Structure 1
């Protein structure tokens, strides 16, 4: 377990344990990459464990800005799980969603847990390879250096948090099981005992 995970647990235990949350978990992901495979399986496993999880509607047409309903779901979730995949950064929607998640972490002491699905955490942290290319395209299109820098800072901040990396597991089933078991302990207010169950 990293110090960032420990600090998340301590702050959340003191300031969010008494708050009533609409959802236990908010799932942030790139639909084109994982909606019908990994994220679908993760959502099902969380649901079967009794963890109230928000996942966006596949039929909702996305505009340039995040809908008020989705912003509200982020605000009302105890934990945000961010599934980083190959094209996560190609979506400005995902990047704006990520900044909102970090805003809620700062204001409401909500917990943020990154999942690295077929991507290297260092590539997310340092915006390399596909992440670098996607951000360069965004910078050319939006022509807003400040916004792009904020996106980069958000990626670095979340990638520095303790979470899970698929390469550390024998298969996706064990990967998902470990995520769900740890999230279940957190949801059940086991913050003070989280050191016994380090995230890998």
Structure 2
């Protein structure tokens, strides 16, 4: 997937799924909604490309902005010149720092993608005489050589379990990025660990903690850092700040907070 995708996650917390037409309304759609339900921003071109705009304008920009790409190879993937052009852009972006691509071999084997053989070769055959054919072949080989997942050899091919595992792994990757602490916030990492230890997050009970201190001492900054550290573990989350100021701002203050 890519940050703009045929399923996309974009921005630092996004993933882009890139897939062919034969999986878009099935496996890819299920993965897309599972990622969204986890709170991971995902871009899906058939939902977010504005009417009247060339698809490539939005799509390629999304790919550039995306951190993670999930490329879903299927039997008909290579039949689409558009998918192949997206793949070229993804492999280019993957080489830049901070971008990672994961191939998923849905109903084909990695070697079929790498060598354009079997079903993949049959799908690609219509492009053999096109000017971009060699470029597309190079992108297919490069993507097939990346570490990824072969569905039939992962969790006995159970799609639901596979999607759950994929979403969990992407969440952990994003958490490792988002939980980084600003180097200017001296001692923040230790403080966050202290607060988390008091919360006993492994317990199923509801926990509440108060942070007391003088104005400007960094209470909100610490609370925000703790939230960023833990939020990916929950199905839903929200950070509400400046409650007093917002609630007193107008007659709609409390309603706005709600």
TM-score, L = length of structure 1: 0.75
Aligned to 2:248: none
Work out which structure has the larger RCO, using CA pairs closer than 8 Å and 6 or more positions apart in sequence: 1
Cα distance, 1:190 vs structure 2: 6.1
Runs of 4+ in structure 1 off by over 3 angstroms are 58-61
Structure 1 residues 22 and 93, CA gap change in structure 2 (3 angstroms): same
Aligned to 1:27: 17
Structure 1 residues 190 and 23, CA gap change in structure 2 (3 angstroms): closer
1:32-67 per-residue CA deviation (whole Å, 9 max, x = no partner) reads: x11111001101111111111111116969xxx852
Aligned to 2:113: 124
1:156 counterpart = 2:141: yes
Q: Which runs of 5+ in 2 are unaligned?
A: 1-9, 179-258
Correspondence 1:1-200 to 2 at 5 A: 21=11, 24-31=14-21, 33-57=22-46, 67-140=56-129, 142=130, 144=131, 147-168=132-153, 169-170=155-156, 171-189=158-176
Structure 1 residues 94 and 167, CA gap change in structure 2 (3 angstroms): same
SS at match of 2:95: helix
RMSD: 2.4
Q: Which runs of 5+ in 1 are unaligned?
A: 1-19, 192-200
Cα distance, 1:155 vs structure 2: 0.7
**Any conservation in 2 of the 1:88–1:94 contact (CA below 8 Å)?**
yes
**Any conservation in 1 of the 2:49–2:58 contact (CA below 8 Å)?**
no
Aligned length: 165
Structure 1 residues 47 and 60, CA gap change in structure 2 (3 angstroms): closer
**Any conservation in 1 of the 2:77–2:123 contact (CA below 8 Å)?**
no
Partners of 1:26 and 1:76 lie apart in 2 by 10
User: Bigger radius of gyration, 1 or 2?
Assistant: 2
Structure 1 residues 188 and 60, CA gap change in structure 2 (3 angstroms): closer
Partners of 1:96 and 1:72 lie apart in 2 by 13
TM-score, L = length of structure 2: 0.59
Cα distance, 1:165 vs structure 2: 1.1
